[in-house]
Amino acid sequence: MVSKQNWTKISCKENGLSQQTRIRDTAYGGYGVGTLEDGRVIFLPHTVEGDTVTFKITEDKAKLVYGEVVEIINPSEHRIEPYCKHIGECGGCVFGHINYEKQLEIKKGFVTTALDRNKVEYPEATIVGCDYKEFRNRATFRVYNGTIGFYKFKSNTFVPIEECPVLKSSMIEKAREVAKDIKGKSYLYVTENDKGEALARTEYLLSSKYSFDGLKSREQSIGRKHLGYDTRYGTFWVGFHSFLQGNRHISNLLQDFVFENSEGRLGLELYCGTGYLTLAMARKCEKIDAIESYAPSVRLAERAKLKNVKWHISLSEQIGTMGKRKVDMIVADPPRTGLEKEVTNYIKDSGAQKIIYISCDPNTLARDISRLSGKYAIEKIQICDLFPGSYHVETMVLLNKVK
Ligand SMILES: C[S@@+](CC[C@H](N)C(=O)[O-])C[C@H]1O[C@@H](n2cnc3c(N)ncnc32)[C@H](O)[C@@H]1O
């Protein structure tokens, strides 16, 4: 009898184009992990642990081999009927064929695996998710001669879309309205608030290929030039290019985490954007220095008129050159690349009692926390699924100064 462990090797066959494998894991980035006949790893999108599939190799780079499923021979127990007809083709919901419980398990695994790999100690992590329906408040469409779509997973092949259940239908209507006049290829960014007001920005591509070379930008607004978002800690504003937490259902968990865990007189916030988290922090600290590199976001943050916050347009990595300051706590919410080395060095010597680190990339989060180890240790870790259906995951960590 063939045991499940031996299944891959025994059933694996070369039939000209395709081989066969059983998917044993999911890698960060959204790929199912299988095994090639020669024992190397094959990364296959749109699969899940337990699937037995035939596939063809699309890219072979010695250690990293990528492929495309030809046929699902035996579907995994974790598979569901996708909630959108474009799943499997569109790059947006690369986990859209996986039941939600399993999605959460996979995402929690991304975080704990990264922490383990970096030898970081941590308490039990919890994960909170949300409904995929209409969760997104912003989207980047691709437009081709008036038709809206997205890219295929990890590619720049245009996939026209008829539906997108993770967006409100009003956002799709607005995108169609703007797109109908677009000739050729364009990016189209649409952001909407809960009042139905929207911003749209188009970026036209002049070259024949989808590439940022020769990109010409034209802004077009629908409704207002800036959008206000009401939260339980106050209103913040976003503009055409400023960052916005992309989930309308549960982004408030990030603010709540900052509110619940902020304490001390003097606060420092790094990568503050338009002040979304600052609103919560400002309720707890007497004085805050908030730092953001993108000047228009700082101008929007000032609209909140927070009397106890001093805004700075600066790179966070220049914090060490901004004069000596005593801080009781630090909040940092960097982009995917994580904290620059100068920032981790600064935090290590800051003397702050508490650090709140909010991260959208488990690997850079784990790297940065391991750099802080010896000086700071994790007290609490809360994972938040801000992007159901995708491989992305948000992690909130509270670190305490080691005594
Ligand atoms: C993940 S967003 C977080 C923004 C804000 N905390 C929020 O929740 O809306 C990261 C922010 O860092 C800014 N940023 C990127 N690199 C930076 C740097 N080196 N120094 C300061 N800010 C930076 C970006 O413009 C963006 O606003």
101: which residues sit within 8 A by CB, 6+ positions away? Answer: none
Q: 332-359, pLDDT tens digit by residue?
A: 999 999 999 999 999 999 999 999 999 9
Phi, psi of 76 (to 5 degrees): -70, 155
Q: 251-310, pLDDT tens digit by residue?
A: 999 999 999 999 999 999 999 999 999 999 999 999 999 999 999 999 999 999 999 999
Whether the CB of 7 sits within 6 Å of ligand 1: no
Whether the CB of 316 sits within 6 Å of ligand 1: yes
Q: Does residue 234 or residue 154 have the better pLDDT?
A: 234
Q: 191-239, pLDDT tens digit by residue?
A: 999 998 888 888 776 555 544 444 556 656 655 689 999 999 999 999 9
Pick the residue whose CA is nearest to atom 8 on ligand 1.
276
305: which residues sit within 8 A by CB, 6+ positions away? Answer: none
CATH topology of domain 102-131+248-401: Rossmann fold (3.40.50)
Q: Where are the domains of the chain?
A: 4-74, 102-131+248-401
Pick the residue whose CA is nearest to atom 25 on ligand 1.
294
Q: At what angle do helices 362-372 and 100-117 cross, to 10 degrees?
A: 30
Pick the residue whose CA is nearest to atom 6 on ligand 1.
272
Q: Please indicate whether the domains covering 4-74 and 102-131+248-401 agree at the CATH topology level.
A: no
In whole angstroms, how far apart are CA 328 and each of 19, 154, 213, 297, 350?
58, 42, 45, 25, 9
Of 3.40.50.720, 3.40.190.10, 2.40.50.140, 3.20.190.10, which CATH number belongs to 4-74? Answer: 2.40.50.140
Q: Say how far apart CA 258 and CA 280 lie, in whole Å.
A: 6
Whether the CB of 276 sits within 6 Å of ligand 1: yes
Relative to the CA of 291, which ligand 1 atom is closest?
21
Whether the CB of 231 sits within 6 Å of ligand 1: no
Long-range contacts from 30-36, C-beta under 8 angstroms, 24+ separation = 30/94, 30/95, 30/153, 30/390, 30/391, 31/66, 34/8, 35/8, 35/9, 36/65
Whether the CB of 318 sits within 6 Å of ligand 1: no
CA of 237 to the centre of ligand 1 (A): 15
CA of 112 to the centre of ligand 1 (A): 24
Q: What pLDDT score was predicted for residue 216?
A: 56
DSSP of 13-35: ---SS-EEEE--EEETTTEEEEE
